[in-house]
Amino acid sequence: MKRAYLGLAPQRRRVATIGLLSLCFFAELTCGVATAQTTAGTPQIYTCIDARGRKLTSDRPITECLDREQKILNPSGTVKEKIGPVLSARERAELEVKNKADMEERLRQEEEKRRDRALLVRYPTPDSHQAERTEALTHIARVKQSAAARDTQLQADHAKLMTELDFYQKDPSKAPLKLRRQIDEVKQAQAAQERFMAEQDAESKRVNDRFDEEVKRLTPLWRMASGKTP
């Protein structure tokens, strides 16, 4: 080609030289644009180890690794970022259940802390807590005392009525209807009093159980408030 070029006339040689330079300039410009486009739009490089232990690489998310972590690499081979596995419908449902349970547990703990703070505000010291326990139990004791007095009165009324009934011992059917009705009413009142007394005993136990449980929760809070180690 060099010989053919040298064999050209001087004028045609200048034209050929200009054409060659233009072609080189165009090629250089085209290469530059292509290089710029490649740099600006560098494709993503995805890589992962599939279920069979193979290392896979692609310019897009790898289908074989949708169930596991994939790495996105820089052109230098360093890790740019990681993407997690794509979950199945069952796995998503399980994750939602777990997230819901975690949320409920966090809410429960927050509610428990809120209750503890409110409890500490209400009972800042052991003495204040014991004072309210004593007051509650004293109130129940007074109610039970009144109920016991009422029961004693009913027992006396029942004894008096039975004494009257003894008059008709030989033939109880001759006892006046009013007397028999009064005896039934007293018996019903006594049964009601027995139930009421049992309810007060249960209430007394409930109050003690409640204050005992609060003491367990409050004891470490009182120690922290006083600056002592739990």
Phi and psi at residue 88, in whole multiples of 5°? -80, 170
Cα separation, 18 vs 201, in Å, equals 116
Question: How far apart, in Å, are the Cα atoms of 220 and each of 18, 22, 118?
Answer: 94, 89, 15
Cα separation, 121 vs 28, in Å, equals 81
Q: Residue 29 in 3-state DSSP?
A: helix
Q: Domain residue spans in the chain?
A: 1-41, 42-86, 89-122, 124-225
Cα separation, 51 vs 64, in Å, equals 8
Per-residue pLDDT of the chain (230 residues; tens, 9 = 90+): 444 444 544 445 444 443 443 433 333 333 333 333 333 456 789 999 988 899 999 999 888 888 889 999 998 889 999 988 877 778 878 888 988 999 999 999 999 999 999 999 999 999 999 999 999 999 999 999 999 999 999 999 999 999 999 888 888 888 899 999 999 999 999 999 999 999 999 999 999 999 999 999 999 999 998 876 54
* Predicted TM-score (pTM) above 0.85: no
